[in-house]
Structure 1
Amino acid sequence: MTRTGTSRSTTRRSARGWRTRWQDLTAGQQTALLALASVQVSLAATAWADLALRPAEEVDGGKGKWAAIIAINFVGPVLYFRYGIRR
């Protein structure tokens, strides 16, 4: 057993510590991870599309700044829709 309570057969040592491999995740964990990833990609794509189509005068701050912020997982697109659009 390792420090985290998992056996060495389900983890491997990397430069950053112990990492679990995709094939070692349960089907439920894989499904949850794919669902979260699809939500993240959908949020980011929607926010970037809105930013691209919205006139600059309707964006609070620079478009370049918001394009970079949107890249931050989950938080960026939510911040853009909450604070980046002038209403």
Structure 2
Amino acid sequence: MDGRQKWQDLAPGKRRAIIVAGVLQLLLQLAALHDLSRRTPLEVNGPKKAWVAASFINFAGPIAYFVRGRKK
């Protein structure tokens, strides 16, 4: 056996945590992509295409965009 658990073998609390984390990741990414689509290139630090690509990096990409990607 390779040591990995199947979805059915996980405790209900772990299943909920995975679902919540997935939904949170999706919402963060959608928020970052929506914000990027409404900004002009002059309102973004760096190329918009790079920030779109970075938004696909779990949690870190969208958070980095909101912290560093937007100009004040």
TM-score with structure 2 length normalisation? 0.94
Q: How many equivalent pairs are there?
A: 72
Q: Which has the higher strand share?
A: 1
Higher helix share: 2
Letter in 2 for 1:25: L
- 2:38 alignment counterpart: 53
User: RMSD of the TM alignment (CA)?
Assistant: 0.9
Note the residue ranges of structure 1 that are not aligned, 5 or more in a row: 1-11
Higher relative CO (Cα under 8 Å, sequence separation at least 6) belongs to 2
Provide, for residues 13-59 of structure 1, a one-character-per-residue CA deviation record: whole Å limited to 9, x for no partner.
Answer: 3xxxx321111101111001101111000000000111011111100
Structure 2 residue runs of 5 or longer lacking an equivalent are: none
Deviation >2 Å, runs of 4+: none
